[in-house]
Amino acid sequence: MSNEIIVVKQLPVIEQQLAQIKEQVAERVQAAMQLVCTEATVKEIKKARAELNTEFKFFTELCKARKLNPFLKEAYCIKFGSQPAQIVVGKDAILKRAIIHPDYDGMESGVIVQVIETGEIIERKGTFYIKDEEKLVGGWAKVYRKNWKYPTYCSVAFDEVANKKKDGTLNSNWAGKGATMVEKVAKVRALRETFIEDLQGMYDADETNTPAPETPAAPSEPEIIVQAEPTAEQPIDVTFDEL
């Protein structure tokens, strides 16, 4: 019989989440310890709660009116600090509303590039371009509606809509998938203008420079460490954290 035992460590992703929660709890406890309860602070808290209730009610009513399911990540209510809450909708939710509309008749979209050598501006279907020879400058979309004579055309400039971090650099999605992102913004705007009766007030996160909550990454496999089974002559020190 083997004298080895298997020790299974905690998943790294869980350890990271627990560490973050611990930091957040510590910060909130520290803030609570420093809070002085006065008539003024009570009024501020009541005002903040009233604003949150109003914003949440507006969000839920919008979801009902537009038949959006926040549990399927079709809509988000995002709030930063004391700024008003922003309501953003996933691109797929907007596209789905347009597709099921009886007058929807198709869509075309792509990117706008500038040839570096000649300066020529080219409007191209799809998101392919040669980075060494062309500069990505925008995106475009055209949506067709059966009961309209002409399609809705929308073009956007990359520099105008690209999402940036506080230091002025592009965020990860726009830096790595700029063509896909700028085409996406053009699509959403064209769809909203075409079906304003169904999509009014529905904005994608990338239009408002508001990051939608990220889906947690899939947990990695647990790390398995094989250790020799201790003998009677080898005492083991076990801390509370290791239990």
- The letter for the amino acid at 217 is A
When the pLDDT of each residue in the chain is averaged and rounded to a whole number, the result is 77
Task: Give the global pTM.
Answer: 0.59
- Between 169 and 48, residue with greater pLDDT: 169
Tell me: pLDDT of 2 over 70. Answer: no
Q: Are 198 and 101 in contact (CB under 8 A)?
A: yes
- Between 175 and 59, residue with greater pLDDT: 175
What is the band of 178 on the pLDDT scale with cuts at 50, 70, 90? very high
CB atoms within 10 A of CB 61: 10
Tell me the pLDDT tens digit for each residue of 92-126. Answer: 778 888 888 999 999 999 999 999 999 999 999 99
- Rg from Cα positions in the chain: 26
User: Percentage of the chain surpassing pLDDT 70?
Assistant: 70
Q: Is 43 exposed, middle or buried (0-12, 13-18, 19+ CB in 10 A)?
A: exposed
What is the band of 167 on the pLDDT scale with cuts at 50, 70, 90? confident
**How far, in Å, CA of 85 to CA of 98, rounded?**
26
Longest dimension (CA), the chain: 89
